[in-house]
Every structure is written in structure tokens, then in C-alpha cells.
Amino acid sequence: MADSNVLLRVEHLCKDFPVDKGFLAKHSKNARYVHAVNDVSFDIAAGETFGLVGESGCGKSTTGRCIMRLTEPTGGKVLFEGKNIAEMDKKALKSMRREMQFIFQDPYASLNPRMTIGEIISEPMVIHNTVPDKAERIDFVRELLDTVGLNPEHINRYPHEFSGGQRQRVGIARAFALRPKLIICDEPVSALDVSIQAQVLNLLTDLQKEFGTAYLFIAHDLSVVQHISDRVAVMYLGNMMEFSDWKTLYNEPCHPYTQSLLSAVPIPDPDIQGKRERIILRGDPPSPIDPPSGCPFHTRCPIAQAKCSQEKPELREVLPNHYCACHFAEPNPIKESSIEL
């Protein structure tokens, strides 16, 4: 990828949360930490959709929040258009926020119930003073409502008067109000029913085509991420395990974790589902407070060897533009097997 095209670069991002509350506990030598994000690096190009998948608690959302600087990273760098966001002053940060918007998982909790949807959508324009004239702003909001498939006549209604899918459209209209270059979408469709989910996914795709916006698309649903993404990264216990373009990742996954994750997703086709070889992982993911030595996946990995518990595998380029963090990664899916713990 040509460097000039890079919109966002994440370098060795780390985020630890202290487990124990209170000043003394936090500063004691034995203070314990949740290692939520551990040395994560990737780039997002202008106009592309970069998918981040993984199971609950793997650090996907924390990665998104660190990028937005909604939480301070404990290590590493986030560069937006080449500028380190940690070194930005207030003014630079404000203009960066204009270019980078957020869409949240929960359309119920993320909209202020006391504001009309017109006020909600125009708020970013007021904060950033992009459309100073009120009448013009209202016209613009009506246009946005129309774009996201809501009735412009409903501009004075309140969030509770809308369904979940419609509220998510309000959130999308708000995120697009400033025509940002990047939108971080954190589980934007996981609270929605399939028929409504498809409406919202299509809307996101259409808006991207129209405005050239890049997405960081965070979700646990592998089929949804595959559908919307150009490139996909898989996280486990705060670590980046594998990433590549969507086609390669889904058809020729190298990492045994990606392979087992994909094989666990039930496919809505009884013939295929009945014939598939499946890798059933045993046990639960380990705690991020006390992650395993070596490879974070070695306690559940069907092909782990002695080296895996001793040495942490680096993310390496196993095939052109295909990165994988496994000592023994192979492009072919591993055979059905299971390990007892």
C-alpha cells in the first residue's frame, strides 16, 4: 500500500487497565493489569473498510477507543494523516475529531433521549461550526435524514419514537454530518434483527461509495465483517493474530485460531453445515489479567508445541500482504481435532 494513501496508522498500540481500584493498590509493586490491547499495528487506507473481529473481551473496542483518544493508550502510537494524535494540541485534536467519527453498538444508549433527532444530527455541525446558518443547517439535516432513509418530516421527533434500526440510522446520519474521512463503527449492527441489519449494512456501503469514507468496522460476527470489509484482522486476548484481504482470510486462513473461529460459525445451509469439518476448541479463553506465556492461544491451540508456550510468535508476512502470528502457521486449514484440557 502506497504510504501517501494511508489515512490511519496504528503502531504497537498497547492499553493496560489497572485491576485494583484505589491509589495505593494502583501504585503498589504487585499492581495487576488487564492487558486489553497488546502491541497492535495496522494501517487503514483512505476509503477502505478495515474489519476487526474477535470474541468478547479480545480488545477490539478498546483499540477503537484508543484511536479516537477516548481512552489514553499505555504504549504505541496512533497517526492520523501522518500526525501523532498523542502530540496534538486541543485545536488539532478538535479538527482531527471532525475527520474521525464514531458509530456505537447500542442505538438506544448512544442518543440523548431529551434531544430531537434534528438536534442530535446537527450537534457536530454546531460544535465545529461547519454550517453556521441555522436555516441552512436544518436543510442539511433534512437532506441527511433522506439519505439515511428516514422521513425528513420526523426531524422534530425524539429517539424513543423510533425503532432500533431507525435509531441506528440517526447515529449514522450524525456520524456523516461532517463528511468525515474515517468512521469507527463499533458493533453497529449487532443489536439489530437480520432484516434490519441488512438495511443498515447496505446503507453504510452506499454512503461509503458516495463519500469515499474509510471505516474501521469492529464486530464479533464473522459473516458481517466478511461482507463489509476489504481487509480483516483477527484479535485474540488483546493481540493481533492474523490479517489480510477478506478473500484470503476467509478462504485460506493461516492461523489456527482464525481457522477454528471460522469453522465454528454455523453456515445457513444444511448441506454445507452437515459436511464441514469442524474444529471445536476446548475450554474458555484465558484471563487477560494473567495471559499465557508465549503464544496467547497456546492453551487452546490444536497444533501447539513446546515452543508455543515459551516464545511469543511475531506477526510475520507469511504470504504477500498476509500477516500471521503463529510459529507453525500453514495456509491449509488444520484437520478436525480437539484437545482436552
Residues near another protein (CB under 8 A) are: 55-56, 163, 165-166, 193-199, 201-202, 220, 222-224, 226-227, 247, 250-251, 260-261, 263-273, 275, 278, 280-282, 284-285, 341
Residue among 185, 334, 314 nearest 242 (CA): 314
In this complex, which beta carbon is closest to another protein, that of residue 143 or of residue 269? Answer: 269
- Choose between 31 and 265: whose C-beta lies nearer to another protein: 265
Nearest to 176 by CA among 112, 230, 124, 115: 124
Q: How far is the CB of 203 from another protein (least distance, A)?
A: 9
Query: How far apart are alpha carbons 246 and 84 in whole angstroms?
Result: 28
Minimum Å gap between C-beta 233 and another protein is 17
Choose between 273 and 305: whose C-beta lies nearer to another protein.
273
Residue with cell 484482522: 233
- Between 31 and 267, name the residue whose CB sits nearer to another protein: 267
CB-wise, 113 or 266, nearer to another protein? 266
CB of 8 to another protein, least distance (A): 24
For the bound state, the minimum distance from the C-beta of residue 301 to another protein, rounded and expressed in Å, comes to 12
DSSP characters over 215-237: EEEEES-HHHHHHH-SEEEEEET
CA pair distance 262, 253, nearest whole angstrom: 9
Q: Which amino acid is at 235?
A: M
Q: Which is nearer to another protein, 178 or 233 (CB)?
A: 233
**Residue type (1 letter), 104:** F
Least distance to another protein from the beta carbon of 246, Å? Answer: 8
Shortest Å distance, C-beta 270 to another protein? 5
Query: Where would I find the beta strands (DSSP E) of 19-119?
Result: 33-45, 49-53, 75-80, 83-84, 100-103
Residue 71, C-alpha cell as written in the block: 481512552
Name the residue nearer to another protein (CB basis): 53 or 216. 53
Distance, in Å, from the CA atom of 36 to the CA atom of 34, rounded to the nearest integer, reads 6
Q: Do residues 241 and 326 lie in contact, with contact meaning Cβ atoms separated by under 8 Å? A: yes
First-to-last C-alpha distance (Å) of the chain: 42
Check the CA dihedral 198-200-204-209 and report its sign. Answer: positive
- Write out the three cell numbers for 153: 418530516
CB of 127 vs another protein, minimal distance in Å = 31
